[in-house]
Structure 1
């Protein structure tokens, strides 16, 4: 057995030599794909699957905590628009000139000579009348009629409605010829309280909740209550007028126009609705129609100072343009 070991190792060496030679020949003729990863591993960079890094402008512009430097470049135009028009734009690096201009344009303080926004033209206390503070010898007309309406004699509902209309006509006449601005505002609040009486406890409760939402600037909740009130009583003009005011606050002037159309069809003497209509016309670049709406409001409420100011402003602009 020992005599055969040298012969065995000699045969094994020959087989290994032949295998190595065959392997070298195979790699020389067919092994480009096997040699290159090893032969050029130190000189060829390894490509990453992540997208290429953005340019220096992109990297500096997106150096906030909400974005990373590897954000794809096609998202930049969308980010620019959002930054320009959002009320609270994200913090961006000042090294980007274009983004800095957009942010400064969106957050620059208002000039003292800048025109007021449409949302601020009609104050909330003029839209929703305050609770009456009357003296004993001057009872509030709206409160008196409300007590009469809530009497147990429901057969008198029609007569109560007639008394309400008669009182509105009387107060509108007083409002038109009142020369004192403070007294005129008191009369106007009495008229608005009469208009606010819907004849339904459910509608009145919904309107109260809507007014609370408006006062808290919770316009979504207020819209829900007003939508319900309008669905239950489509002929109730005050709900349309209040909802138009909310649409103005939300800069949705088309919906405000539709609601004011319904409000003025149901109550063509509603000077608050005409004031709102003038605001919508002014916001949509129609000053001539805005002046007409304001003038119509003044025919019912001549002492309404906000309307007078808007007419003076629009006429001054028109005069300056003619010059």
Structure 2
């Protein structure tokens, strides 16, 4: 029997209207942003507050505790990846994104972040692969087609695919 999350993802795959896509993503985020346990939920909230306040070191520490408490909770890894990204630690962010996707392969937030980082690192071919994967989840995501087209054009201009 499909879960609520599975149903939201199925609807996201076929949604075409930007407002519908946004609403479905919001519903998915609501599910992702709860561990279902009070202690870990407090760690998640504390880490998100620290990140919002620009204290990325504190955010990472909170997310470290969350990951230690619930290692299979994908959003703990994703939030720490975001904090690392905001601190400019792209390789650490990519490692945590990989952990996120290992636990939740449909995590469109992690995929979007991964594509951004790979583009910034000049890894255009890998970024395009990630965007293609994202298109499998939500083919009509606003702006996705343009991003994919731009990367394909960049690759056509430079055959090695590793350009800035």
Superposition TM-score, scaled by structure 2 size: 0.87
Corresponding residue SS for 1:281 = helix
Q: CA deviation at 1:306?
A: 4.5
In the aligned structure 2, how far is the partner of 1:222 from the partner of 1:308?
33
Matches of residues 229-240 of structure 1 in structure 2 within 5 Å?
A: 229-240=66-77
Match of 1:228 among 49, 53, 65: 65
Equivalent-residue separation in structure 2 for 1:289 and 1:321 (angstroms): 14
Match of 2:97 among 257, 260, 267: 260
Which position in structure 2 is the counterpart of 1:205? 42
Q: Pairwise mapping of residues 89-128 of structure 1 onto structure 2 (< 5 A)?
A: none
Q: Does 1 or 2 have the higher relative contact order (CA < 8 Å, sep 6+)? A: 2
Runs of 4 or more off by more than 6 Å in structure 1?
none
- In the TM superposition, residue 250 of structure 1 has moved relative to its aligned partner by 2.0
Alpha-carbon offset, residue 263 of structure 1: 0.7
Q: Is structure 2 residue 29 aligned with structure 1 residue 192? A: yes
How far is 1:278 from its partner? 1.5
User: How far, CA to CA, are the matches of 1:188 and 1:301 in structure 2?
Assistant: 10
Name which of 280, 289, 293 aligns with 2:130.
Answer: 293
Distance 1:249 1:309, change over 3 A: farther
The aligned runs of 1:9-158 (5 Å cut-off) are none
Greater share of residues in helix: 2
Structure 2, gaps ≥5 residues long: 160-164
Match of 1:303 in 2: 140
Aligned partners of 1:207, 1:218: CA distance in 2, in Å? Answer: 14
Query: 1:179, 1:303 within 8 Å by CA — same for their partners in 2?
Result: yes
Q: Does 1:314 align with 2:151?
A: yes
Any conservation in 2 of the 1:271–1:296 contact (CA below 8 Å)?
no
| 8 Å contact from structure 1 (residues 213, 222) kept in 2 | yes
CA contact (8 A) 1:275 1:307 kept: no
| Structure label with greater radius of gyration | 1
Give, in whole Å, the separation in 1 of the partners of 2:145 and 2:50: 29
- When structure 1 is superposed on structure 2, of 249-258 and 261-270 the one drifting more is 249-258
Name the SS of the counterpart of 1:217 in structure 2. Answer: coil
Q: How much does 1:215 deviate?
A: 1.9
Structure 1 gaps of 5+ residues are 1-161
